[in-house]
Structure 1
Amino acid sequence: MAGQRVQRVAAPLRAQVLEVLRQDILAAEFEPGERLVEARLCARYEVSRTVIREVLRQLESEGLVTTVPNRGPVVTELTAFDAKALFEVRGALEGLAGALFAERATAEQREQLGKVVRRFARTYRKADLAGRLAMKDEFYDVLIAGAVNPVIESTLRGIHARVQMLRGLSLQADGRAPETVRELEAIHDAAAVRGDADAAREACERHVRNAAATALRELAARQREDQDTDAG
Structure 2
Amino acid sequence: MAKIGLVQPDTLRQRVEDAVRNAIMSGLYLPGERLVERELCEDLGVSRASLREAMRRLEAEKLVEIIPHKGPMVAVITADEARQIYALRAVLEGYAAHEFALIATENAIEEFAAAADALKDAALKNSREDVLQAKASLYDIMLGNCGNALAQDVLKGLYSRINLLRATSLLDPSRLPKSLAEIAELTQAFRERDAGRAQDVASMHVKNACEVALRNLDE
| TM-score, scaled to structure 2 | 0.92
Query: What is the aligned partner in structure 1 of residue 210 from structure 2?
Result: 212
Structure 2 residue identity aligned to 1:203 = V
Q: Deviations over 1:66-85 (max 9, x none)?
A: 23344332211111000011
Q: Deviations over 1:31-74 (max 9, x none)?
A: 32233232221123222112211221221222211233443322
Given that residues 65 and 73 in structure 2 are in contact (C-alpha distance below 8 angstroms), is that contact kept between their aligned partners in structure 1?
Answer: yes
Query: What is the aligned partner in structure 2 of residue 148 from structure 1?
Result: 147
**Structure 2 counterpart SS, 1:67:** strand
Query: What is the aligned partner in structure 2 of residue 170 from structure 1?
Result: 169
Report the identity percentage: 33
Query: What is the aligned partner in structure 2 of residue 28 from structure 1?
Result: 27
Superposition map of 1:58-97 within 5 A: 58-97=57-96
Structure 1 residue identity aligned to 2:156 = R
Q: Deviations over 1:146-193 (max 9, x none)?
A: 111011011001111111110000013123222221111111111x20
Given that residues 7 and 46 in structure 2 are in contact (C-alpha distance below 8 angstroms), is that contact kept between their aligned partners in structure 1?
Answer: no
Unaligned residue ranges in structure 1 (runs of 5+): 222-232
Query: What is the aligned partner in structure 1 of residue 55 from structure 2?
Result: 56
> Separation in 1 of the partners of 2:206 and 2:217?
16
Structure 2 residue identity aligned to 1:79 = T
Query: What is the aligned partner in structure 2 of residue 224 from structure 1?
Result: none
Structure 1 residue identity aligned to 2:35 = L
Unaligned residue ranges in structure 2 (runs of 5+): none
| TM-score, scaled to structure 1 | 0.87
Given that residues 67 and 73 in structure 1 are in contact (C-alpha distance below 8 angstroms), is that contact kept between their aligned partners in structure 2?
Answer: yes
Structure 2 residue identity aligned to 1:87 = Y
**Structure 1 counterpart SS, 2:119:** helix
Given that residues 126 and 171 in structure 2 are in contact (C-alpha distance below 8 angstroms), is that contact kept between their aligned partners in structure 1?
Answer: no
**Structure 2 counterpart SS, 1:29:** coil
Given that residues 27 and 167 in structure 2 are in contact (C-alpha distance below 8 angstroms), is that contact kept between their aligned partners in structure 1?
Answer: no
Structure 2 residue identity aligned to 1:68 = I
Q: 1:92 to 1:74 in 2, by over 3 A?
A: same
Structure 1 residue identity aligned to 2:4 = Q
Query: What is the aligned partner in structure 2 of residue 227 from structure 1?
Result: none
Q: Deviations over 1:2-43 (max 9, x none)?
A: 41223429x944344333322322343333223323222112
State the 1:206 CA deviation.
0.8
State the 1:142 CA deviation.
0.3
